[in-house]
Amino acid sequence: MCGIFGIEDHEDAAHYAYLGLYAQQHRGQESAGIVSWDGERLALHRGMGQVADIFPAKVLKRLPGKMALGHCRYSTAGTSILANAQPIVVKTSMGPLAIVHNGNLVNAVEIRHRLEREGSIFQTTSDTEVILHLMARNPREDVVESLLIALEEVRGAYSLLLMTDNCVIAARDPNGFRPLVLGEVSGASCFGSESCAFDLLGAKVVRELELGEVVVARDGRVESYRVSHAEAPSRCVFEQVYFARPDSQVFSDPVSRARLAMGKSLAREAPAPADIVVPVPDSGLFAALGYARESGLPLEFGLIRNHYVGRTFIEPQQSIRHFGVKVKLNPVRELIQGKRVVLVDDSVVRGTTSPKIVKMIRDAGAAEIHVRISCPPTRWPCHYGIDMPTREELIASSHTVEEICDFIVADSLAYLSLEGMLSCLSGPKESYCTACWTGEYRVDISAEDRRQQELFPIRAEEYD
């Protein structure tokens, strides 16, 4: 779970990278970094925390040049320390290289162990560094060739941006797990995880990178290459369900449209005897609107979110968690009192949040609470870059829908079916990754990587 942004051939490259990250802050709040190139040297600044705090004007001034890459991070591989913040910058025989990565490789530990046995020394515990090592060991006159060799070895999810002393390179894995968009602003090429970054900059979306495509932006021109092996398309549906901003286009689909459609399907599949529809803000907003439109029930903002808390699950520190969900949400009693409520949220993960919200709504005087979730029960952890707890911690892996309903003390509970969810997306059903609901992993995780994940699970402790 990360946001990336890159720009080539623009006078204000670092400022644009900053704004590109600002718009994508929801994709990771643990650390952020920007690297720029001014024709002579790479300038790098990284810090823990949020973009606005890490990059005051005086810091941005120290990032000169016409090329820049930026990254905001939430760790899904590697520990939460500054050394693992990106961009990662190295010197190779091909010149300086900087990299940012969204996604999770599934054979990085295996490759790393092999390279370490052969003498490589790693600076970080992040899976991304493996790509740089593979490139450094296979230098070519054209750095793109070296990257293509490295990408033949790695498996899993990557949307990558690299910067050399003369170009910005974007690469998307052959499964297309994570989004990556090519844009244009004042004649310069830019790349970002989500189109909402381009809206802020006044940039035009040119297109999404194709699966297995490598795009090189050099001297204001763009060239396209391919990773030679093909894989089954596996776009992550969770981006559409939860992670991406609703004002973004992801996988060439407006997220708002997909979420509205999910809410409508949910209303058809799981109607409820209720008076009002209440969204769990912000993630449940669009699905609740869809539910309300389809059911004909009024949408009421019965829960208000404190926007200054941030997306708490993305905050790996434990400092605010004792306050629980109250710090984030507060009910509007006047709207809820005496009402039969359909409460719409995007997902139940561990099941720690839902009982607290249900209780909050009940305490505010609701007569009945019917919980509706706009995706199927989440039963399997993600190996491809979404932060999910282990299987044991996912409530739906060991409890039936009825049991979860009892656990959250709702009057009824229903999830959107897999079919219903997939029918809300514009691409063919088989082109999406549904592993967290079905356990069908399209790309196997290596034994060594699995062992590492089990030994050192990287995740937010609790995010209620």
Q: What residues are annotated to the active site?
A: 2
Q: How far apart are CB 446 and ligand AMP at their closest, in Å? A: 23
Q: Which is nearer to ligand AMP, 213 or 346 (CB)?
A: 346
276 lies in the binding site for ligand AMP (CB under 6 A) = no
Contacts of 355 (CB under 8 A, 6+ apart): 407, 408, 409
Q: Which is nearer to ligand AMP, 8 or 464 (CB)?
A: 464
> What gap in Å lies between CA 237 and CA 234, rounded to an integer?
9
Return the residue of 2, 130, 143, 348 that touches ligand AMP, per CB under 6 A: 348
Q: Which is nearer to ligand AMP, 98 or 288 (CB)?
A: 288
Return the residue of 64, 351, 365, 427 that touches ligand AMP, per CB under 6 A: 351
Return the residue of 173, 208, 315, 346 that touches ligand AMP, per CB under 6 A: 346
Return the residue of 136, 280, 343, 443 that touches ligand AMP, per CB under 6 A: 280
Q: How far apart are CB 243 and ligand AMP at their closest, in Å? A: 7
Q: Which is nearer to ligand AMP, 194 or 387 (CB)?
A: 387
Structure tokens of 224?
């396209």
Q: How far apart are CB 350 and ligand AMP at their closest, in Å? A: 3
Q: How far apart are CB 189 and ligand AMP at their closest, in Å? A: 31
Parallel/antiparallel/unpaired status of strands 368-373 and 340-345: parallel
Q: How far apart are CB 59 and ligand AMP at their closest, in Å? A: 30
Stretch that binds ligand AMP, among 297-305, 315-323, 326-334, 381-389 (CB under 6 A): 381-389
Return the residue of 86, 195, 248, 283 that touches ligand AMP, per CB under 6 A: 283
Which string of x and - marks every residue 147-186 that binds ligand AMP (by CB under 6 A)? ----------------------------------------
Q: How many residues bind ligand AMP (CB under 6 A)?
A: 19
Q: Which is nearer to ligand AMP, 148 or 413 (CB)?
A: 413
315 lies in the binding site for ligand AMP (CB under 6 A) = no
Contacts of 41 (CB under 8 A, 6+ apart): none
349 lies in the binding site for ligand AMP (CB under 6 A) = yes
Q: How far apart are CB 312 and ligand AMP at their closest, in Å? A: 9
Return the residue of 126, 347, 374, 453 that touches ligand AMP, per CB under 6 A: 347
Where do contacts with ligand AMP occur on this chain (CB under 6 A)?
Answer: 242, 280, 283, 313, 345-354, 386-388, 463-464
